[in-house]
Chain A
Amino acid sequence: MLRLLLAAQQSGELQTGLKAIGRGIVYGAAAIGPGIGIGLVVGNAITAMARQPEAAGMVRTTMFLGIAFTEALALFGFVLAFIL
């Protein structure tokens, strides 16, 4: 096992593999928080629209704003995964 690891390290395969794993972890971890956040934003926006349909236009605009701010964190992770 150790010999295999050392052989992989010498040929540079280990580095490539670990980098791929790191990229996966970076984007996966970055998507957790915004996923929950966008769920909360949209869920509450739907509740608000159902309670007060006449305010739907205002709620929708604010909802998109909230989504945009929350989503930015996941997108930073997405970009970072490619920079790595």
Chain B
Amino acid sequence: MVLGLEFPPVSHLVNWPEIAFKDTPFAISKVTITYVLAVVFTFLLFFVAGRRAKLVPAGVQNVAESSLDFVRESVIMQTIGADGVGFLPFLTTMFFFIFFINIFEVIPIFQMPGNARIAVPLLLAVTVWIMYNFIGIKRAGFFGYLKQSCVPPGVPKFVLPLVVFIEFISVFFVRPFSLAIRLFANMLAGHFILVTFALLTADVWAATYVGAAVPFALLVALTGFEVLVALLQAFIFSILTAVYIGGAMHPDH
């Protein structure tokens, strides 16, 4: 019988002991290492692919080229249009950075998505917020940008104050907030699900050896699902960034 399935407190699942530089702002824990590794991998992927670029791509160059093509065709062309190709490096780098941080969720030894802590999603969201506001202000001037983002065309006069208020809140506060929360909460939820099924497997295994097959099979399936989620969240973050930049560049649609 499984009687006492003790779920550890939430802080135990996302906090890791500090390895070096304890009790300073520069403390290094497992999560910090995954951030550094994600930066290194993102850099290496494009550095190695670009350094020995051949006409007929092979190996890493294939991955880099097809991902750039993917971001151009299904992220930028669908949202910003042809004049947004200048954002290709930014969006592709962000895609891979988020993906590499996320994928540490299913890599043994690490098994902790760095984005399950609010810091990196928040930083990225603030970067995107500054970026699309800067582009909009540069294009239409401060008050022009404020008008284009708060006053949607074709709204009846009597509801205009309410619409302007809602649009202002939505564009300048809800957008960066929801961008950060979406990535953060998705990865946190995925992490909790994997932890729950791993604990369940261990507990059922201790009670009945055979019964553990069911939660273990689910654990394997959910691990595969989390790989999909890691990829999808990186894609969604970059496509939403593109949508916001596109909105600042082309206010008419």
Contact = CB atoms under 8 A, between A and B. Distances in A.
B74 A57 contact: yes
Q: Chain A: interface residue count, which band?
A: 10 to 19
Contacts of B75: 61
A82 to B, nearest CB: 6
A71 B239 contact: no
A79 interface: yes
Nearest to A60: B74
B185 A75 contact: yes
A58 interface: yes
Contact of A79 (B184, B232, B239): B184
B240 A79 contact: no
Interface residues of B, number: 20
A75 B186 contact: yes
A58 to B, nearest CB: 6
A64 B181 contact: no
- Looking at chain A's contact residues, is the secondary structure mostly helix, strand, loop, or mixed? helix
A68 B181 contact: no
B10 A71 contact: no
B189 A78 contact: yes
B228 to A, nearest CB: 12
Contacts of A60: 74
Contact of B182 (A57, A58, A62, A72): A72
23 contacts: A57-B73, A57-B74, A61-B74, A61-B75, A64-B235, A64-B236, A64-B239, A65-B236, A65-B243, A67-B236, A68-B239, A68-B240, A71-B182, A72-B182, A75-B182, A75-B185, A75-B189, A76-B181, A76-B185, A78-B189, A79-B181, A79-B184, A82-B10
Interface of A: 57-58, 60-62, 64-65, 67-68, 71-72, 75-76, 78-79, 82
